[in-house]
Chain A
Amino acid sequence: MSSNGGVIHDIGFRHYDGPRLGRGYLIRSLYVESLRGCYGLGRSAKSKIMPFLLLTVLVAPAVIIAVVAGVTSMKKLPVDYVGYMFALESAIAIFLAAQAPATVSRDLRFRVMPLYLSRPLSRNDYVAAKYGAMSTALFILIAVPQTVLFIGALLAKMSFWPNAKDWAAGLLGALLLSLVLAGIGLLIASITPRRGFGVAAVITVLLLLSLVSGALASLADINGHPDLAGYFALLNPVSLVQGVLHWLVDADVSYPQPPPGTTGGLVFTAAMFVVIAGCYTLLLARYRKVSAS
């Protein structure tokens, strides 16, 4: 029907001969709309409440810290950029649990997947756009408060380079954490067309992993296997990223033990990439044969 991949079904109306925007445009639109949807933009006022409430929960402490640092002219921020993000990890997890099902479950529930896929948009494009949108939404959620802290530090006339370096480390952490969490959240959410159940399932899996790995780690630590305790952090996606950051940028670890040495760092980094790639592959597999089930 057309030469550059556009499709308009001929149902007997007047023909369209204008320019076609093609597949790239479709992916871009789906990405932008999904990202806006994660924050409830373009949706009803009700669906804006939750994401912006959680964004406030994350940003408000940073603003307070920045103002206090400026007023009392501190020499150094009381929290570091990476530590700030892990201190508020439960708010990040709730954001993921609330918005991952909103991103993918609706399309399944209202059975609009066939409509998407009857366009030049392929399954892989759909998954890429959704994964990109979800991780960008998480990245914004984590990076905005870090940037607020950075601006606060500069306004308080703290030295530029150490802060810029830590801020960059924080952004790297935000990127890694959002990629890992978005993958896990979307994978779980894509299994169910029910939003409420998706929310509960995502948070249950994240909490369960963190509790189990915490219990196993302290058990190993008490019984005198600190190395083993370090490796149990692999089970929890959040402490996995924490371990990687500990190795890469020497971030503090809230766990009983950080991953041991270079080997530990390499293992954690490899595990993190396996998690990201694995979630992406499983998502592709999930959408290979998609039904609302």
Chain B
Amino acid sequence: MNATVAGLTWHSLVGRRRALLLFVLPVVLIALAVLVRLVSGESSGSATDLLGSFSLGFLIPLLCLIAGTGAIGPEIDDGSIVYLLAKPLNRYVIAISKWIVAIGVIVLFGVLPTLVAGFILAGNQDGVATGFATGALLAGVAYITVFLLLAVITRNAVVIGLLYALVWEAAIGGYVPGAQTLSIQQWALAVTEKMLGDSAPALGVDSAVGLTTGLVLLFVVSLGGLVYTGFRLRSIRINGEE
């Protein structure tokens, strides 16, 4: 972890207009939570609906897409990454610094708002808030790793990430049950399901994978992806504009 790299990444992620987009998403989540609470009262059912679809299904993947690819993508795009790579820094350290900052952004703008929205909607019932926040954190770490790696590998990282999060996880996963086994969202949901315990079936939280499989896959993807990102950074090729 290198403080300078981390600081620069932090500024490029939350500086200027990017921050606006990062702020809008959690604000909308909290606003919807307050509205649902006012209209339908405290219920863990509506909390599960909103957190499952809006937070785990939309907020976390998109924030991770912005933060994960934004942590390194623009630098590679405009070629200024060479100034960073020319410094006597271990490439793994660069990857890890950017990874940690991106996770910090997710915790701040994704996981904490999920926790707050959970408490607003369901209070302390059934551990809905903590269950979904934990799921969001684990999913966030895995998504960040995947999107950071994508940004290092390809110029089209954002579009490919979108295709994965929207088309593979949401659309294909809905029709082809097998596709859900390869879905970060489902792995994280397995943890949420476990944390909700006995009330999970009643709330309709049902992951496509078991808890062990989910945890192992999350761990393998997060660690393996990070190591491979560092490895790719060791021999990155800087191309010109398309």
Partner of A194, one of B74, B156, B170: B74
**Given the interface contacts A194-B74, A196-B73, does A207 sit within 8 Å of B58 by beta carbon?**
yes
The answer to whether A223 touches B18, judged by C-beta atoms less than 8 angstroms apart, is no
- Chain B 65-95 near chain A by CB (<8 Å), digits 1 or 0: 1100110011001100000000000000000
Q: How far is the CA of A195 from the CA of B157 in the complex (A)?
A: 11
Partner of B159, one of A98, A191, A192, A219: A98
**Given the interface contacts A212-B28, A219-B35, does A197 sit within 8 Å of B18 by beta carbon?**
yes
Q: How far is the CA of A203 from the CA of B161 in the complex (A)?
A: 12
Task: Tell me the B residues contacting A by CB distance below 8 Å.
Answer: 17-18, 21, 24-25, 28, 32, 35-36, 39-40, 50, 53-54, 58, 62, 65-66, 69-70, 73-74, 77-78, 151, 155-159, 162-163, 166-167, 170-171, 241-242
The answer to whether B21 touches A204, judged by C-beta atoms less than 8 angstroms apart, is yes
Whether A65 is near chain B, meaning CB under 8 Å from some CB there, is: no
* Residues in B neighbouring A263, C-beta threshold 8 A: none
Main secondary structure of the interface of B (DSSP, over half): helix
* Residues in A neighbouring B151, C-beta threshold 8 A: 196
**Given the interface contacts A201-B21, A208-B28, does A215 sit within 8 Å of B162 by beta carbon?**
no
The answer to whether A196 touches B21, judged by C-beta atoms less than 8 angstroms apart, is no
Chain A residue at smallest Cβ distance from B167: A90
Task: Tell me the A residues contacting B by CB distance below 8 Å.
Answer: 43-44, 46-47, 49-50, 90-91, 94, 97-98, 106, 109-110, 191-192, 194-197, 199-201, 203-204, 207-208, 211-212, 215-216, 219, 222-223
* Residues in A neighbouring B50, C-beta threshold 8 A: 215
The answer to whether A215 touches B32, judged by C-beta atoms less than 8 angstroms apart, is yes
Q: 11 interchain pairs (CB within 8 A)?
A: A191-B17, A196-B73, A196-B77, A197-B18, A197-B66, A204-B21, A204-B62, A208-B24, A215-B36, A219-B40, A223-B39
Q: Number of residue pairs across A and B with beta carbons under 8 Å?
A: 87
* Residues in B neighbouring A49, C-beta threshold 8 A: 156
* Residues in B neighbouring A192, C-beta threshold 8 A: 17
The answer to whether A200 touches B54, judged by C-beta atoms less than 8 angstroms apart, is no
Q: Pick the most buried of B50, B62, B73, B242: most chain A CB atoms within 10 A of its CB.
A: B242
Partner of B70, one of A197, A211, A215, A219: A197
The answer to whether A211 touches B53, judged by C-beta atoms less than 8 angstroms apart, is yes
Report the minimum CB–CB distance from B42 to chain A (whole Å). 15
Q: How far is the CA of A98 from the CA of B156 in the complex (A)?
A: 9
* Residues in B neighbouring A222, C-beta threshold 8 A: 40
Partner of B69, one of A110, A196, A208, A215: A196
The answer to whether B159 touches A50, judged by C-beta atoms less than 8 angstroms apart, is yes
* Residues in B neighbouring A90, C-beta threshold 8 A: 166-167, 170-171
Partner of A197, one of B40, B74, B159: B74
The answer to whether A204 touches B25, judged by C-beta atoms less than 8 angstroms apart, is yes
Chain B residue at smallest Cβ distance from A195: B77
* Residues in A neighbouring B18, C-beta threshold 8 A: 197
Partner of B25, one of A106, A196, A208, A215: A208
Q: How far is the CA of A203 from the CA of B170 in the complex (A)?
A: 15
Chain B residue at smallest Cβ distance from A209: B28
* Residues in B neighbouring A50, C-beta threshold 8 A: 156, 159
The answer to whether B167 touches A199, judged by C-beta atoms less than 8 angstroms apart, is no
Q: How far is the CA of A91 from the CA of B163 in the complex (A)?
A: 9
* Residues in B neighbouring A47, C-beta threshold 8 A: 242
> With contacts A47-B242, A196-B73, A199-B158 known, what are 9 further pairs, Cβ within 8 A?
A94-B163, A98-B156, A197-B17, A197-B18, A200-B70, A203-B162, A204-B21, A215-B54, A222-B40
Report the minimum CB–CB distance from B213 to chain A (whole Å). 28
Partner of A200, one of B21, B53, B163, B242: B21
